[in-house]
Amino acid sequence: MVWKLNLRFVFTFAWFYGFRTISRGPSYLIANISTPLTLLFLVFMLSHGELVKYAIAGGFLTVIASVALQSSGDAAFMRIQLRIQELFVATSVSSSDYMVGLTMSELVFSSPGIILYAALGIIFHVFTPVGVLVIIATMILLLVATSGLSFIISSSIAHVRNIWGIAGILSIVMTIIPPTFYPYTYLPGWLQYVLSLSPVTPAAILVQGYLGLSPVQPVMWLILLLDVFAYFTVAKVVTKWREN
């Protein structure tokens, strides 16, 4: 439960592994935002600017999801190589504290990309008052869902050398194939639901709808919440915290 979280640990870990990572290795930050920015440029050029608002709206979600999914490599490295979880097990830190702390660090690490897309959104007049609130809400839910998925992946890997490739492929598949950089109306209805296995899909459909770019589909709130609950619950179960 939220009220049982060790908030001191959560915010300390988020500061150390989020903000300090940005200051120690800015090249990682540039690498993480380069893909969505490159796709934004391509969408702008190929559509002659017609789809740029869709690409900017999807950029918020892509930055959040890609950072969270690629963090599975960090989680696996800390578990297998550094054995940091063994250190936490001997303290009052719970698996939930650790998962939320790493999730918050991902939010901090994503913040420069979010600020950049916010500036682009202002320049291209993408935002609406309701749309801004929906973007914030969907980013939070998407962060929890994709972080849960990253923990599921990292807990299922026995060797660190396997995780980086898997994380990279999954990040591309789950953030590029969903309608993040193009109108979701391009997809048939049944495919929208199939792609909702990636929480990026319902998040993108909601953001496009409430920004006035495409028709609103309120049912996607339910699907996104189901994704959040499913991935985070499974992650809590499979996260290797104590040896049985």
Tokens of 140: 């939070």
Answer whether residue 6 is part of any domain.
yes
Range of the domain at 118: 2-238
User: Does 112 have pLDDT greater than 90?
Assistant: no
Give the pLDDT score at 240.
58
User: Does 242 have pLDDT greater than 60?
Assistant: no
Give the pLDDT score at 25.
64
pTM to 2 decimal places: 0.85
User: Does 69 have pLDDT greater than 50?
Assistant: yes
Answer whether residue 244 is part of any domain.
no
Indicate the number of domains in the chain: 1
**Nearest to residue 208, comparing CAs of 53, 66, 64?**
53
What are the respective helix, strand and coil percentages of the chain, to the nearest 5?
A: 80, 0, 20
202 — pLDDT class (breaks 50, 70, 90): very high
Neighbours of 129 (CB within 10 A): 8
Answer whether residue 19 is part of any domain.
yes
29 — pLDDT class (breaks 50, 70, 90): low
Across all residues in the chain, what is the average pLDDT? Answer: 83
174-200, pLDDT tens digit by residue? 888 999 999 999 999 899 999 999 999
Answer whether residue 243 is part of any domain.
no
Answer whether residue 216 is part of any domain.
yes
Answer whether residue 68 is part of any domain.
yes
Is the distance from CB of 231 to CB of 152 less than 8 angstroms? yes
User: Does 243 have pLDDT greater than 60?
Assistant: no
Question: Rounded distance, CA 97 to CA 88, Å?
Answer: 10
Answer whether residue 151 is part of any domain.
yes
**Nearest to residue 56, comparing CAs of 216, 223, 204, 187?**
204
Answer whether residue 164 is part of any domain.
yes
Tokens of 70: 């690629």
9-28, pLDDT tens digit by residue? 888 888 877 777 777 666 66
Higher local confidence (pLDDT), 88 or 114: 114
153-179, pLDDT tens digit by residue? 877 777 777 777 777 788 788 888 999
User: Does 106 have pLDDT greater than 60?
Assistant: yes
Half-sphere exposure of 141 (CA within 13 A, CB side): 26
Question: Rounded distance, CA 234 to CA 192, Å?
Answer: 23
